[in-house]
Chain A
Amino acid sequence: MKIEVKNEKTSAIIICIIAALCIFSLSKQFKSMLVEEPIYPGKGVSEIKMLSDYFEDIKGTPGDTEVYVLKGEKPGGSILVLGGTHPNEPSGFVSAILLIENAVPEQGTMFVVPRTNNSGFTHDDPQEGSPMRFTIDTPSGERWFRFGSRATNPIHQWPDPDIYVHKSSGQKLSGSETRNINRTYPGRADGSFTEKVSYAITEMIKQENIDITVDLHEASPEYPTINAIVAHEKAMPLASQALINMQIEGINISLEPSPTNLRGLTHRELGDHTDTLALLMETANPSQGRLRGKTDSDLVVNGKDKFYVRAAEHGRLYVPFDEKGHPLSERVARHITGVKEFYTVFGEQNPDKNIDIKGIPNYEDMINHGLGEYLQPR
């Protein structure tokens, strides 16, 4: 059907004005994602560095981000925790913040990067219907966090190539993976925006001689690698002992070797290109899955979803899923416990590089009291 107007200029102007109003309102909403959620450094934080301290090129760019250094009195080993590699996997991000605000090292050093792909926090993936933010109740009030995208914001790196070729291996992936930081390691000094950020991370590990690197992730419940530790072959002895300890604590978790033919990921490239013991952890996040129902902040935090319950009944999932779901508190508790086990076992295996950190809540406390207790605004 056609409806012809008498004066096309007038109607065009009216439609343009409406479009302009839409653009104005949309700009305000999209730009609100640039505002960072507050992080309140705890008494364990001895220094706040920037990632650009390790690679000058990213200084002042949206890829630059804080590196929280928690240094104990006594010298010992060092561990790096990467949160927010994928900003749509909130348990890694919240776990990193919880460590920054609670951990107090007595021996050794903990480095925490809560927003590894800082740019990914500034937008949401189209057609995913994600909430821009989610909130956690704490005794001193509600606290908000951004729920971002799996990839770098296209306004910081665009256009995508048709095929993304991982430079050092020649591996080909779909073009959009060029903005997935966990496909770009070890990064390149003269590479894309995202490759520069991963290069800075690699540089930090080299310059600080970091012993253990743990990259915190989440996966959708229908994905096979879930509730798991993925370890580089060099980190296998450490990971297998930590796994046994976690299982003794009653945490259901598996261990997978880092595949040698899947390139650009932290557990492969950081293990190959640096001396660090590279590990990655996955928890079950229904808010990023394809089977999920209504998508909102509630799903992110409470992790309850009727469609996942049904899919579990049909044997389609790789994690148990009942009406209780997989709340964020449980997912964060798993990550935090994993991190704790890694540095503890590392200390046992390398007594000269012991790491001793106080103040980190244990698994049961986080499950029973929720996260609010440990994320109080100050």
Chain B
Amino acid sequence: MEIEFIIFISMIGIFLLFNILLKLPVSLSMVAGAIVGALIGGEGIPLRHLFEGTFVYIDTILIISTAMIFMMVIQESGLLEALTSSIVRKFYKSPIVMLILLMFIIMFPGMITGSSTVAVLSAGAIVAPILIMMGIPNPKTGAIIAIGAIMGMAAPPVNIPAMLIAGGVDMPYIGFEGPLLFLTVPCAIFTVLFLGLKDSKKVDFENIKGKLNYETYNEYGLKLYLPLIVLVVLMIITRAMPTVVPNLGMPLIFLISSAVGIFTGKKFNLKNTLVESMKTTIPVLGKLMGVGMFIQIMTLTGVRGFIVNNALNLNLAMLYIAIIVILPAFGAVSSYGGASVLGVPFLLALLSGNQIVTAATLSFIASLGDLMPPTALAGNYSAQIVNEKYSEVLKFAAIPFFVCLGFALLCLLTSNKLGFLIF
């Protein structure tokens, strides 16, 4: 047995022991796995390596924290409830149109920011109550939001895994729009109709209409929507005119929009809201820190190379299987990590296909990794929004997940015929 394999199974073993048997949090279990990996690899307890690994997530910490603050602010100000009511009132007559429309709303922040977490925490939080009101059970709603957010993350114009893969082979991020839309739009529509249509057809919308709350909107008027308008406008103009508008970054955009929200709706205790929003965020951030340490030790001890090597040194048929199994599975650690660590060598191994379509598809598959426990950023936050356990949400996400994966595999196999998508 190779030493790297022994280190790998020890790291996983310790993680499972701590997490499942001893019921310790994911974060501490990953730290324990990382430390044991380093010890067996003859590195002692390398404090510098452990914490250096966490620095990949500094920007993610800021995005998640500020997105959470924004979500709490729009909840407290009454914006969330008012928006839900008005969307239902306008579109209740056609559930199909409404479901597809809601799916695009979920995707939108992900398309602009390239982050599924942002999509879940901003648009997902707005859409969740509507889906529930339409008669879709909570766990199914969670699954729709999680997959919608991932489709948004993978959809153009911003797909960070695709940028990482393209950057890794010095390919400009140009021409990805067509293939990415081709991958994400059908999958998104399929998911929302597959999970939502049956339940939403059964519901009597006339009855729901009566239950909606219009009071907040009547009291504050359009002003109530200002934080959301500011958020969307800032997101779009910083992307559309990067040479004119300075790059504010998502954390600052979320904070500016939150600040607007303090004055545009119901009054609330700002300090408590801020502290409370951080309270729900800390365990997820802790998990990210654990993941960062875990990957750094995997790289340091050669476990990462061991995994990439075993995935690559396969014949072509097995290579495709490895791509649809290992690439999303790496999302359990990090989908961006998967794109950069595995996506690049996979692309290099598939040079015979259409490069842009292949890179786009690999980024799509890597993005699906955001559903993988234990990190499962998209899944975890969706579950939190609908007050369900993540495992419940995952059950419903499974079929659309495999359909997306199957579709992606098809695109990989026929990438040479899909060149017309590049414009």
Contacts and interface: CB of A to CB of B under 8 A. Distances in A.
Does A pair with B? yes
Interface centre among A160, A174, A177, A224 (most CB of B within 10 A): A174
A262 B170 contact: yes
A162 interface: yes
A162 B158 contact: yes
Interface string B297-338: 101111011101100110000000000000000000000010
Contact of A129 (B114, B239, B300, B313): B300
Interface in B41-79: 41, 47-49, 51-56, 58-59, 62
A154 B358 CA distance: 32
Nearest to A124: B52
B292 A126 contact: yes
A316 B313 CA distance: 8
Contacts of B41: 294
A222 B22 contact: no
A30 B306 CA distance: 28
Contacts of A310: 309, 313
A10 interface: no
A162 B172 contact: no
B81 interface: no
Given A25-B47, A295-B302, A307-B306, A165 B243 contact: yes
B344 interface: yes
Contact of A128 (B58, B59, B163, B299): B299
A174 B163 contact: yes
A368 interface: no
A292 B305 CA distance: 5
Interface in B322-366: 337, 341-342, 344-345, 348-349, 351
B316 to A, nearest CB: 12
A172 B243 contact: no
Interface string B140-153: 00000000000000
Contacts of A48: none
A316 B305 contact: no
Interface in A309-328: 310-311, 313-314, 316
Interface in A7-63: 22, 25-26, 29-30
Nearest to B251: A159
A294 B302 contact: yes
A316 B345 contact: yes
B254 interface: no
Chain A at the B interface: mostly helix, strand, loop or mixed? loop
Interface in A139-165: 154, 159-163, 165
Contacts of B56: 126-127
B275 interface: no
A225 interface: yes
A75 interface: no
Given A165-B243, A261-B172, A290-B345, A129 B249 contact: no
In the complex, which range does the number of interface residues on chain B fall in?
35 or more
Interface in B154-170: 158, 160, 163-164, 166-167, 169-170
B47 A22 contact: yes
Interface in A298-343: 305, 307, 310-311, 313-314, 316
Interface string A259-283: 0011100000000000000000000
A101 B344 CA distance: 38
Interface residues of A, number: 48
A244 B92 CA distance: 73
Given A1-B22, A159-B59, A165-B243, A26 B305 contact: no
Chain B CB within 10 A, most for which of A160, A171, A294: A294
Nearest to A180: B167
A223 B300 CA distance: 21
Interface in A83-137: 124, 126-129, 132
Given A127-B53, A162-B249, A174 B167 contact: yes
B377 interface: no
A223 B167 CA distance: 12
Nearest to B344: A290
B300 A311 contact: no
A310 B308 CA distance: 12
A225 B170 CA distance: 10
Contact of B172 (A167, A171, A176, A293): A171
B163 A161 contact: no
B247 interface: yes
A314 B312 contact: yes
A173 B48 contact: no
Contacts of A261: 172, 174
Contacts of A292: 302, 305
A172 B173 contact: yes
Contact of A177 (B24, B167, B174, B300): B167
A229 to B, nearest CB: 16
Contacts of A253: none
B211 interface: no
B52 A291 contact: no
B250 interface: yes
Q: Please provide the 6 A-B residue pairs with the shortest distance between their CB atoms, ordered closest to farther.
A: A129-B300, A174-B163, A293-B302, A129-B299, A1-B23, A161-B247
Given A127-B296, A132-B48, A172-B172, 15 more contacts: A26-B48, A29-B47, A129-B296, A129-B297, A162-B250, A163-B163, A167-B243, A177-B167, A291-B309, A292-B305, A294-B4, A295-B300, A311-B312, A314-B312, A316-B345
14 contacts: A1-B25, A30-B48, A127-B56, A159-B251, A162-B158, A172-B173, A173-B163, A174-B163, A174-B167, A290-B345, A293-B4, A294-B41, A305-B305, A316-B313
